[in-house]
Amino acid sequence: MSARSAAPGAQAWPGVDPAWSRRVAVDGHEWHLLDNAPSLTAPARGVLLCVHGNPTWSYLWRSVLAAGASAGWRVVAVDQLEMGWSERSGAHHRLADRVAQLGRLTDTLGISGDGEPEPGGALPVVAVGHDWGGVVVSGWAVDHPRELAALVLTNTAVHHDDAVPVPGLLRLARRTAVHSAATVLTPAFLEVTLSLASPALSPAVRAAFRSPYTTAERRRGIGAFVEDIPVDARHPSHRELGRIADGVAALDVPALLMWGPRDPVFYERYLRDLRERLPQADVHRFEGAGHLVVEDADVAGVLVRWLAARGIGLPAADPQALDRDVTALLRHETDSAALGPGGELRADSAPYEPLWAALDSLADTDGPAVVSLRDGAATTVTWRRLAADVRHLALGLVDAGVRPRQRVSLLVPPGAELTTALFACLRIGAVVVLADAGLGTAGLTRAVRGADPDVTIGIDRALLGARTLGWPGRRVLVAAESGSGADPLRRRILGAEGTYRDLIAQGRRLEAAGIELPPEPGPDADAAVLFTSGSTGPAKGVAYTHRGLAGMRDVVGDTYGLSPERPFVAGFAPFALLGTALGATSATPDMDVTAPATLTAGALADAVAAIDARAVFASPSALANVVRTAGEVTGDGRSALGRVEVLLSAGAPIAPERLAAAAALVPSAAAHTPYGMTEALPVTDVSLEEIRQAAADAASGTVRGAGGGTCVGRPVGRAQVLVVPLDDDGRATGQPTDEAGVTGEVLVSAPNLKDRYDRLWATEADSRTWPGWHRTGDVGHLDGVGRLWVEGRLTHVISTAAGVVTPVAVENAALAVAGVGRAAAVGVGPAGTQQVVVVVETDPDVHAGARRSWSLAPAGLARAVRARATVPVAAVLRVPEIPTDVRHNSKVERTRLAAWAERALAGARVGNP
């Protein structure tokens, strides 16, 4: 039936055990496959049947073969006929042929059918495919429901709309003048495919991928595979593709879709089609990965963890054989009961009012709801007008075809239009997508494509970007006034189907005709996808239910006293929307919301005076510029600022000295700063007075655990905080604790916790090791009176020979040196022996040469930093500007700085970071 003779060159394939290479004869055809059965030390949990696409071969699955062996899964990765090291007969195999051939192969192997199984046969089968191998293995899955346990697909498609051209790369490869030369006579198609890997493949791996395709004769299968792509209904394989597509939609098994978004072949529309056909599928998008996602990202690790989390496969005979991460996952699930009531904080018994309840209650009042200041003028929208616009826009959106659960991306600056669109979408059950323009063009593009909205409502600049960059969704234009910027030519250029004001006008007509709003969405329906700042990697979509958003509104209102009696200025956009939900009048100051540091003291004072605000919310960088421009505030402005009762710095950490400087401008206000994240906002809160008391406690040593980071206060509302202790390598591997003074990863639970990360299954699984709790990725500790001290990010922990060092305490020490404006503590060198390096940005009024190119810090400055630090500092570098995130201009990019500092200290020629 089969032979164990390896294919030529098997000894030289990096990452492949030569014992995996084997040949199998089936119906006169000779197959080559990689089979990790020799590496299994116990009975297999099941079989992963892996099928490659074009022009790769089974070598693509080497990481899955290795991970499967460690986790107790037999992995069979085939070379399709005329591909890889399988036979070259010159036959032209159509899609239906390939599906049938794969079935006969698995029958022969005992993986399917009623034949005599090989060792490891007659087990649940998980069908795994990539590229056109995804189509073939999907056909196998449809034809083998008895054996099929799950379907896993990576960057593939089972359906193509005949009205839409095939992707450009395939279109080019199929052209008569190009086809043979590009796919067969030369290795161009193969080389282009290999070049899509990111990071680039090593020379040895590229050589392994090339090895079966060294001559034109051996590349004929590549050309035939391209030709067999069913581009329209006339193609011989079109009927079979349709059969597979319909069959996939009927599958009732667990499914996982792993996707590389940077794919010039399989666009987002193919992922969307697969999601619709497999609504039960878990999805994980590997941002930064592309067509060769199996090479670009940890597909193997995620697959093995997913199988364990979904309980797919037989129990392992030897649990110790499981992959370490899977073992940890299973152990944490078992131990989660010891954490207490974290998962119960979101119980349905909690009071719930939808976000639009305040609008309904204030719909008959004429007081100001939203005030926007721009170019010295103020625009005011009353509660009556806002409530009416929300109702009318909601009706207009429904009339335009927007339905519950559809996604609507709002690319509108803070103000009345954004508020109206947000509440209208929520009211009809549409899911709002909010991605900050501060992410930049590339970041915003990743976010919008990842969320895959059905509709985009945006200003002209946003819609122009959407059309130019190919963002998904129908488009609705928001123009300043009816007819302004909304003429037919402008709409045609932007690809807008209609305008915001036209939809409101249509909704007004529908209401007059007696048309009512649809039923309200339930509290546990999806409400919004909010994107993180992108300061710790690509921005992540965070999915919230209506109950979760209501919980966020309630805790903000309770903590800071927002109410109809306390109007506020929102220099930090999220709070403007929450304030409206609390019935509080809000004013947006004259500033560029994508650049918080553009808020001036004069603009803040004008906004406060416009509504006689009692609260001010702003980011640290915004407040820093307010302090710098304090001299421009007039007497009336100072009087208005003097009536402010609450000052809140939100969005990023702020140094106590800077909070105190901002508080001096609002002398009657209690200054606060919350700790939280997009996934749970807020979690803790601390006032300036409490910060000073915490500093005194740290200095006196009277409170256990006080000091060693930045105090962010006690949990608010019903939030809970624990820490997961670090091991010697800086990993959070211990059991959660509330013991004072123990440093570890911060773990939080709260009624306003996210529902999940959107289409990021692995990221969500990482964050939910303990059900009901969220792993923040922050590092910190609790003190003896229940205050949380944040010490940095888990990814920024420095692993030295003397133990782990967290960066914030070192940075705070550097910031205490006169003239140091920003500081970053990073690790340089191999893990376990890293050296602490401090990078500082200094004030040119204090330190000469502060704005010159980077250098070793002057001797006096370096001595001062080392004297204040509590750990040895190997080097102090001075730079003209420390890089920070684009959204808040406050979060230091330590990962980028660490890589830069390592190159700089190694003698490489580098510029400023």
- Residue range 797-913, CATH number: 3.30.300.30
CATH architecture, domain 357-588: 3-Layer(aba) Sandwich (3.40)
- Encoded tokens for 504: 């409101």
- Closest alpha carbon to 477 in 450, 489, 454, 495: 495
- Closest alpha carbon to 744 in 760, 758, 733, 757: 733
- Which residue pairs, CB below 8 angstroms and at least 24 apart, start in 699-707? 703/783, 703/784, 703/785, 704/740, 704/741, 704/783, 704/784, 705/740, 705/741, 705/742, 705/781, 705/782, 705/783, 705/784, 705/789, 706/783, 706/784, 706/787, 706/789, 707/789, 707/809
Decide the pairing of beta strands 455-458 and 498-499.
unpaired
End-to-end CA distance of the chain: 61
The span from the CA of 522 to the CA of 543, in Å, is 15
- Closest alpha carbon to 373 in 586, 592, 576, 588: 588
CA atoms within 13 A on the CB side of 318: 13
Residues 6+ apart with CB under 8 A from 777: 536, 745, 793, 794, 795
DSSP letters of 570-622?
ESSHHHHHHHHHTT--EEE-SS-TTSGGG--HHHHHHHHHHHT-SEEEE-HHH
Residues 139 and 244: beta-carbon distance below 8 Å: yes
- Run of H or E including 391: helix 383-399
The span from the CA of 885 to the CA of 539, in Å, is 11
- Closest alpha carbon to 223 in 179, 186, 267, 257: 179
Instruction: Compute φ and ψ for 224, nearest 5 degrees.
Output: -65, -35
Q: Please, is 252 exposed, middle or buried when counting C-beta atoms within 10 Å of its C-beta (0-12, 13-18, 19+)?
A: exposed
Residues 806 and 791: beta-carbon distance below 8 Å: yes
The span from the CA of 321 to the CA of 741, in Å, is 36
The span from the CA of 665 to the CA of 630, in Å, is 8
- Encoded tokens for 741: 């003074």
- Closest alpha carbon to 67 in 314, 332, 298, 286: 298
pLDDT at residue number 317: 42
Helix (H, G, I), strand (E, B) or coil at 838: strand
- Closest alpha carbon to 796 in 826, 831, 819: 826
- Encoded tokens for 823: 């500081």
By residue count, the chain amounts to: 913
Residues 6+ apart with CB under 8 A from 236: 94, 228, 230
pTM above 0.85, yes or no: yes
- Closest alpha carbon to 220 in 191, 185, 177: 185
DSSP letters of 183-227?
IIISSHHHHHHHHT-SSPPPHHHHHHHHGGG-STGGGHHHHHHHH
Q: Do domains 2-163+233-321 and 679-751+770-796 have the same CATH topology?
A: no
- Encoded tokens for 98: 């390939």
Low-confidence ranges of the chain (pLDDT < 50): 1-2, 316-338, 341, 343-348, 482-485, 888-889
pLDDT at residue number 121: 54
Q: What share of the chain is helix, strand, coil (3-state, %, to 5)?
A: 40, 20, 40
The span from the CA of 280 to the CA of 273, in Å, is 13
pLDDT at residue number 482: 44
List the domain boundaries for the chain.
2-163+233-321, 168-227, 357-588, 679-751+770-796, 797-913
Q: What is the pLDDT of residues 270-297, one digit of tens each?
A: 999 999 999 999 999 999 999 999 999 9
Distance of CA 910 to the CA centre of its chain: 30
Q: Please, is 483 exposed, middle or buried when counting C-beta atoms within 10 Å of its C-beta (0-12, 13-18, 19+)?
A: exposed
Residues 6+ apart with CB under 8 A from 170: 226, 229, 265
Task: List 36's β-bridge partners, or say none.
Answer: none
The span from the CA of 334 to the CA of 130, in Å, is 34
The span from the CA of 345 to the CA of 550, in Å, is 14
From start to end of 480-521, where are the E strands? 498-499
Is it true that domain 679-751+770-796 has CATH number 2.30.38.10? Answer: yes
CB atoms within 10 A of CB 721: 24
CATH architecture, domain 2-163+233-321: 3-Layer(aba) Sandwich (3.40)
